[in-house]
Amino acid sequence: ESNKTLFVKYLFKEIEERFCYIKIEDLDYKNSYNQVEKTLVFFNVMEVYRSKTNRFPFKQLKVKEIKWSLEHIHPQNALDVKQSEYSQWLEDHKKVLKTIDSDDELTDRIENLIVELKDTNAKNLKLQFEDLSREVLENLDYKENNMESISKKSKIPFEKLIGEHHISNMALLDTKKNSSLGNSAFGVKRKSIIDFELNGLYIPNATKNSFLKYYSDYPKHLNYWTLEDRDEYLFKIQEQMNFVKTKI
């Protein structure tokens, strides 16, 4: 018996109650996984809704063959990389290291280990790979010097933003693509996300936008996920929550 205007207002009220009163600074992969996932689904839906260029493919969230999970935008470590993928992991990261003019000695050691992997069982080189991969990720980890107490846009304390499991370092991705990215550096993941989409695979809008740095006004580093990127990413989520509140 309602009209369309009242029905839309009712929907926004329901959305507001479910998604817009969480304390976003406390959302964390380890302690509030389900709430992080729900918030990122909300964010992706609202990004599509407000773009007015296409419809959100809700069926993608319900397809039995697809299981959605949370991807760390900036990696944790490379210890979970399968031994059969050592060489590819090293090749991918060598390319990124070369784009940032890193130490030639490090890339030489990567090339040497790749050669060794061709001649030796990867199982016997596990420790060498783990030590070298840690060093590679350290080189591809942006060293922050902006550690004021509160971030500029989202107003979230930097001590929260810096956490590897904080929502500011999380994106929604299906499990299959998530595992294929492994614990790769941001620059490698960014290239993979581009390739996924070029091959016609579905990538949630906000996930794609974060890896392509659409939320960062003036991104300084395409191969790093910095505190400024995290701040602007969270600000966009907050902005969508505030938009919903204006529709009530």
Per residue in 28-66, pLDDT tens?
A: 999 999 999 999 999 999 999 999 888 888 888 887 777
pLDDT, one tens digit per residue, over 108-166 is 999 999 999 998 888 889 999 989 988 888 887 766 665 667 888 999 998 888 888 99
pLDDT of 248: 87
The proportion of the chain whose per-residue pLDDT surpasses 70, expressed as a percent, equals 93
The pLDDT tens digits for 142-154 are 666 656 678 889 9
Q: Is the pTM of this model over 0.85?
A: no
Four-point Cα dihedral 116, 121, 124, 126, nearest 10: 80
**pLDDT tens for each residue of 73-111:** 987 665 667 888 889 889 988 888 888 766 789 999 999
Quickly state the pLDDT bin for 182 (edges 50, 70, 90).
low
Between residues 139 and 16, which one has the greater pLDDT? 16
Q: What angle do CA 149, 230, 220 make, to 5 degrees?
A: 100
Q: Which residues contact 204 (CB under 8 A, 6 or more apart)?
A: 40, 44, 171, 172, 173
Average pLDDT in the chain: 88
Cα 229–91–97 angle (5° rounding)? 45
Chain centroid offset of residue 220 CA = 17
232, 217 in Cβ contact below 8 A? Answer: yes
CA 121/CA 127 separation, integer angstroms: 12
